[in-house]
Structure 1
Amino acid sequence: MKKTMMNQLHPLEVYSIVFNMLEDRVLEDDVFKGWLCLDEEKKEMLELLVQHELSSGSYQCTFNGAVLDPIDIRKISDKHLNDSFKFRVTLVQRSQRKATPIFRDWNDLLGYPDNLKKPLQQAFFTSSALMISENSDDPLFQNYQRVAGLIEVVELLIESNEGSGQTLFYQRPIKFDFVLEAEDLEHSIDIDAINNLLEKDTHKEAVKNLISAQIVSRVKDIPVSRRFAELVKTNTYLVADVLLDYQGYVENYSFDKVRKEYLEKKTDYISKIENRFDEISLKLLSLPAGIGLATTQIEAGMIGDLAFVKNVTVVATVFVLVMLLCMNIYGQFSVIKSIKLDYESAFKALEKKFSEESSAISTSKTEIDDKCFFTWLKLWVAIAASLALFVITFIMLIYSYR
């Protein structure tokens, strides 16, 4: 049963238990030494510590106060497991192994930069005989666990702004040393909101620039060795200001986007409407020339002769040309009507979606309405001009037989 319990304990937990059990514990020659009477369970604990190089495995020994030769842990037998025997157990003062991190205090742990970038999941502090882990409620440890996230944000900004090493280039080079002191961990660290912004699919570069600007404004006058600590201390305000800046950016971006959208639609619809008249303008230009050429073929004569037949054929040809052109022009009214329904629906949706810009959107719609009216008017004038040309041709036919 005891073996099973020992197998469930982490070596660092065993170290903590043994450390706190040592009597007359002192620090000598960079190792902790203290007296301990053993039983089966304590012996197994020492064996585990020796296995993980946290204890020497060779201990001074006394029997009822009499000093005996040092004894190796492997030679300790059942006869030694009573209160008559005392062993001066040794424990390492410091361990930088990820599995068994042991330090004097927080400042000792933070003195190793890798412990910030790759936070430890647990540690033991010999000055306070305190073990901390992921399950502990120690606020310093919780803040310590979040420091790596802030470092990742700074390194991401350094990379995106083409910085180098630990230097952020934004308006000026800002160098960082990722070092902290214990008192810095007293400040709450929470960068979830910033990470959420960085993970958005939109405005990625803008978000990075906003964060960079806030960081630079905070640390530009701070000594290099304390710049990162300043970010930790002002973390709450940093996040709040970044969110405020982002909100302002999005509002300005939305305004520009809306303005661009309705101006593009206005240009698009005006172009479509003008194309209706441009499509028939070439035909309109060719009609007078064709009719002018046709009228030159009209000759004076008597009704019933060959000239009369020729003249009637010319007038009939002009009539057909005018009718085809008028039908073509009239077909443009249907297209314009369809465009009008389309843009009225589109701008009504824009006004509903962006009510704060309804006045500007309405002005753009009015400009399209005006363009639509003038194009409509030009088409009617074109029809009237075409019919007038036919009437002139017909009058010439009548006058040729007077």
Structure 2
Amino acid sequence: MFAVAVLVAHKLRAGWRGWTGLALIIALAGGAVLTAAAGASRTNSAYPRFLSQSPASDVLVSPTNSGDLSYDDAVGTLAGVAASAPVAGINVIPVNAKGVPVNGAIMFVPPDGRYARTMDVPRMLAGRLPSQDAPQEIAVDQIAAQRLRLHVGSVLRMAALNSSNHVRPLTEHVVGVLVTRGSVVPVTYIDQVPQIMGSLALFRELGPAYVGFDGVYVKLKPGASVAAFTAAAQQLAQRYPATGKQVFVADEATQAATIERAIRPQAVALALFALALALTALLIIGQAAARTLLTATQDNGTLAALGMTRRQLFTASMTETAAATVAGALGAVVIAIAVSPLTPIGPARLAEPDPGIS
């Protein structure tokens, strides 16, 4: 084995250009394949991981009529409910300097501060959520940021309308730009509308007279049936006349499945690209390795005449190839890690809860 080690060291020094070239080819080709394959996996899993880290609700319960919000609190006590987070939509719209509405938007607030903090926590693209005690702070989703040309630090003039048609001007400061579970791939009309999140302090300042709609997001216990919960929620509404005694229950698994189907083609495309790239890389690397080995074995006849066995020569050749392969593989991993911030692609990029190096 000592003779083999000496021979390998000599050949690597003498033919370092060829072996270095082979290692570079392996690194570049392998890095591209690993990047595409890992990117496909990251793209496919981004939205489920986003929902898991939120943590995402299972159903949304919304009364037909806007009530006094006590029904929303009562829903959280139903059997099968693990957690709940009420939300209220308030009649507030963006306006220009003359007080004229500039764009359609939905403004919602957490009546008790739980929504977006303990459940359905959005991903922050910039800034932070509005402070609980700051009525002049808002956060906007990326759709609102684009359409209304807003960013962290922007000032947005708004008008609030109560049940008596009294208009109250508001001046709000954007402190965050966020992505909600629905804005990743807007599949409903509401998801397509710019959304603005206000603070608990703003809700308390305006009061129930400005509430346009309300609902409660619910996380069910493991094994709990959506159908059974829906029946219980409908029955509970009979005890709260302000709801209109009718509620709409949305199974949010349907929305999640639709969004995942919209993202999947890009993940599949990346996976197929990785496969095609891998096959091409194998051909290129195989030819490069064969040429390098052929060059390195030109003096095997002389070495055999000096007493080296065929087994020793074969072992030396494989060791040289292994050295270049290992170096190239390590380089491929480094390249894949370095360019991993380029993935995921498409809408999954918005949902990725851990962007950057992976």
Identify the TM-score tier after normalising by the shorter chain.
under 0.3
Task: Using CA pairs under 8 Å that are at least 6 residues apart, name the structure with larger relative contact order, 1 or 2.
Answer: 2
Give the structure with the larger helix fraction.
1
Instruction: State the TM-score, normalized to the length of structure 2.
Output: 0.27
**Whose radius of gyration is greater, 1 or 2?**
1
